[in-house]
Amino acid sequence: MKDENKAGKIRGLLGKFIITGTLRLETGLHIGSSQEFSGIGAVDSVIIRDPVTREPYIPGSSVKGKMRYLLARAYAGSGILGNIEDENECLKRLFGLSGNKIILSRLQFFDLFMTEESKEMLGRLNTDLYYSEIKFENTISRLTSIANPRQIERVPAGTEFEFKLTYNLEDSGELEEDMLNIGFGLRLLEDDYIGGSGTRGYGRIRFSEEFDWQFNDYSALRNETSPEGLEEKGRKSFERGRKGVLE
């Protein structure tokens, strides 16, 4: 199949909404990193860190993937979560699609880095490792009663990260529906978890009550004027979604 037949039509760009806020850990977070070797006495499962600063961070891909998964389940209801190509159209245009048909993602997630306040807090606490803690866990075999202790590295509860999300405005008529789903997706994340071992209490998060908004309008490049009140409409729909309202 030729690429021009495989790709969907790429829409123009009317502007960008840049949404920023804070993500706070309500419980310890573990987003694992690959570990080729674990010496005697070493931590069994380490967290992902910035290769330059060695500080823990949250990959934007982790937030994007979990948010899409939860929204897809919410739209599926009691049905079966099918092929990603059969997802609701509003999810495909928000998160993108590859394969037989390509749809560009309107959302751009950023990696989340620790706030300066959290670095200072963790520095004062002198945690087990650099900006992280060690949680000891243990399982016991029901057949042999042999214990299997392990050490899990986590980012401590109370740590805050800078959250940033960009939304590409391609169709002003779809702005309110898209923002409603974005707000609802963040609400779903707060009701669930990110990272590993969520069913054991890890990875509970809370976003800041208020988000900062910036709307970069590109209509002047085309000697046009955007419809009035776009930013306000987007913000209100986003807030309705965060309250769990879907229309």
* Secondary structure class of 216 (helix, strand, coil): strand
**Pair of tokens at residue 32:** 């694992």
CA dist list (Å): 154 to 127, 194, 202: 11, 12, 9
> What b/e sequence results for 54-68 when a residue is b if at least 16 CB atoms lie within 10 Å of its CB, and e otherwise?
ebbbbbbebbbebbb
Q: Which amino acid appears at position 138 of this protein?
A: N
Contacts of residue 67, defined as CB under 8 A and 6 or more positions apart, other chains included, come to 185, 186, 188, 189
Instruction: Tell me the C-alpha distance between 119 and 206, whole Å.
Output: 18
Residue closest to 240 by CA, chosen among 198, 187, 173 = 187
- Cα distances (Å, whole numbers) of residue 152 to 26, 46, 74, 81, 101: 17, 7, 31, 31, 41
**Would you say 181 and 91 are in contact if contact means Cβ atoms under 8 Å apart?**
yes
155 has which bridge partners? 29
What would you report as the CA-atom Rg of the chain, rounded to the nearest whole angstrom? 21
Q: H-helix or E-strand containing 116?
A: helix 116-125
247 residues of the chain, pLDDT tens digit each: 445 445 567 888 999 999 999 999 999 999 986 554 455 555 678 889 999 999 999 999 999 999 999 999 999 888 888 888 888 899 999 999 987 788 899 999 999 999 999 999 999 988 888 999 888 888 888 888 888 888 888 999 999 999 999 999 999 999 999 999 999 999 999 999 999 888 989 999 999 999 999 999 998 888 888 888 899 999 999 999 999 877 6
Q: What would the 3-class secondary structure string for 40-60 be? A: CCCCCECECECCCCCCEEECH
Cβ–Cβ under 8 Å, residues 227 and 171: no
Residue 136's H or E segment, with its range, is strand 133-140
Tokens encoding 95: 């998160």
230, 175 Cβ separation under 8 angstroms: yes
- The Cβ-side half-sphere exposure at 132, using a 13 Å CA radius, reads 23
